[in-house]
Amino acid sequence: MTSTPPPLVVLLQLGQRGRSAETLEELHFILVNESHTLVPYRQGVLWNAVGKVVTLSGVPTVDPRIPFVLWLNRLYHAFSQIGAPSPLLLSGHEAPDPLRDQWPEWLPQHAVVFHLKAHRITLGWLLLAREEPFDGNELVLLEHLAEIQAHAWALQRAHKPPPWWTKIFSRKSWLALPVVLLAILSLRVPLSALAPGKLVAVNPEVIRAPMDGVVMQFHVQPNDPVQIGQPLFDLDDTNLKSRLDVARKSLDIANSEYFLATQQALSDPRSKGQLAILIGRVEEKRLEAEGLEELLGQSRVAASRDGIALFSDPQGWIGRPVVTGEKILMVAQEKETEIEAWLSSGNLIPLEPGAKVTLFLNIDPLHPRQARLRFLAFDATPRPDGTQAHQLRATLTGEGPPLRLGLQGMARLQGERVSLFWWLARRPLAVMRQWLGW
């Protein structure tokens, strides 16, 4: 039959268990659960130095939101504020009013609290509770156990590896920090800027109004494919037809007058002097009629190359007066595209032809397209939003499917390589210069 070991043996065994614990969690478990082998109790609670419940007897983890833990927090504030000695005997009958009513619901009638500290540093608080009061011998054994386990707790903290940030802020690290910081700020990075961009035609044919007039009708719709010679739109030719009719009748009259003059010159030599004048008049009317016929032919504008028609809503053009040379539409190859972007004056950086351009399309931002800068406008142009921006064009490079005209996105322009310090300080210095007037 196995005999129960003496209390001193159990105390030594628990002390050895605490010192050999590999983690604080294991030590806390021994404090709350295995101390029962030295002095019997029903419930055990362990708080850390800031009053947080870290371990409960018979529970693997502690949920800080359950009612029992919330009530234990109130109990901790009650005994920690009075500066009571250790061990502190507690009883449900003598508890403060807010805690007395709920004491039987959460704890047995009698409890004792031990202040765990080492080298005058508070480590935590241990509460043991049961129905019977603790006698003097039990309190002495538990107090010795609390001191042993507190030293084991302090030893665990001393052997715990320091946080990573302590190495960074050590004295030696501070001495090397300026060198490291200077080396980082000296790294060369490409100077970059962002600009809204879209895909435009490479060499579009601009169709302009050949003369003053009014747009009468369109023969194509926006984005329709067109071929060489296909009619695109007509200008109102009513006035031209009327003028042409008048010119033709004037030409007939001039021819009739010339014919009568030639017949009369056969019998009257004096009439021969009028023939040169009449010939000039006939030639004038003929040239006038031919010019109007040519203008009438130009009233129907046709495509001079294959491609697609690029223009806005045709209903907005019909009935609109136009002047000679006014742009009406464009004809371009659908797959022959390049990037057009507008770089604001505030974001302007030094860019050379051939600089790297990356376009992130709105419809496919995860697959950017690469390009090379073809030209950058010298002067800034007013934009519809009221800002000033420089126009640039970039030629697409690399592999990839052809892109449709009109796709929009954000273009990243990559300039010369500068130090990381200048890359970070360029915009703040520009703002400070504006504020301070340097």
Per-residue model confidence as pLDDT tens digits over 8-29: 888 888 888 888 888 888 888 9
Q: Is the pLDDT of residue 162 over 60?
A: no
Element counts in the chain: helices (H) and strands (E): 11, 20
Beta-bridge partner residues of 391: 342
- Integer Cα distance of 129 and 43 in angstroms: 5
Query: How would you class 112 by CB atoms within 10 Å of its CB: exposed for 0-12, middle for 13-18, buried for 19 or more?
Result: buried
- Integer Cα distance of 27 and 31 in angstroms: 6
- Integer Cα distance of 394 and 348 in angstroms: 16
Q: List the structure tokens of 93.
A: 């009958």
Q: Is the pLDDT of residue 237 over 80?
A: no
SS3 161: coil
Band of pLDDT at residue 1, cut at 50, 70 and 90: very low
Q: Is the pLDDT of residue 219 over 90?
A: no
Distances (CA, A) of 26 to 111, 118, 128: 23, 19, 18
Q: Is the pLDDT of residue 274 over 80?
A: no
Contacts of 380 (CB under 8 A, 6+ apart): 345, 388, 389, 390
In this prediction, what percent of the chain has a pLDDT beyond 70?
Answer: 90
280-304: average pLDDT? 78
362-391: average pLDDT? 88
Band of pLDDT at residue 272, cut at 50, 70 and 90: low
Task: Give me the pLDDT at residue 156, please.
Answer: 77
Neighbours of 183 (CB within 10 A): 10
Task: Give me the pLDDT at residue 341, please.
Answer: 93
Task: Give me the pLDDT at residue 100, please.
Answer: 85
Q: List the structure tokens of 145.
A: 């156990």
Task: Give me the pLDDT at residue 263, please.
Answer: 72
307-329: average pLDDT? 86
Encode pLDDT of 128-145 as tens digits. 999 999 998 988 998 998
Question: Which of 149-158, 222-231, 320-329 comes out lowest in average pLDDT?
Answer: 149-158
Task: Give me the pLDDT at residue 411, please.
Answer: 93
388-402: average pLDDT? 85
How high is the mean pLDDT of the chain?
83
Return the H-helix or E-strand segment holding 298: helix 275-298
Q: Is the pLDDT of residue 423 over 90?
A: no
Beta-bridge partner residues of 48: 124
Q: Is the pLDDT of residue 370 over 80?
A: yes
Question: Which of 225-234, 314-323, 427-436 comes out lowest in average pLDDT?
Answer: 427-436
Task: Give me the pLDDT at residue 394, please.
Answer: 93
430-438: average pLDDT? 73
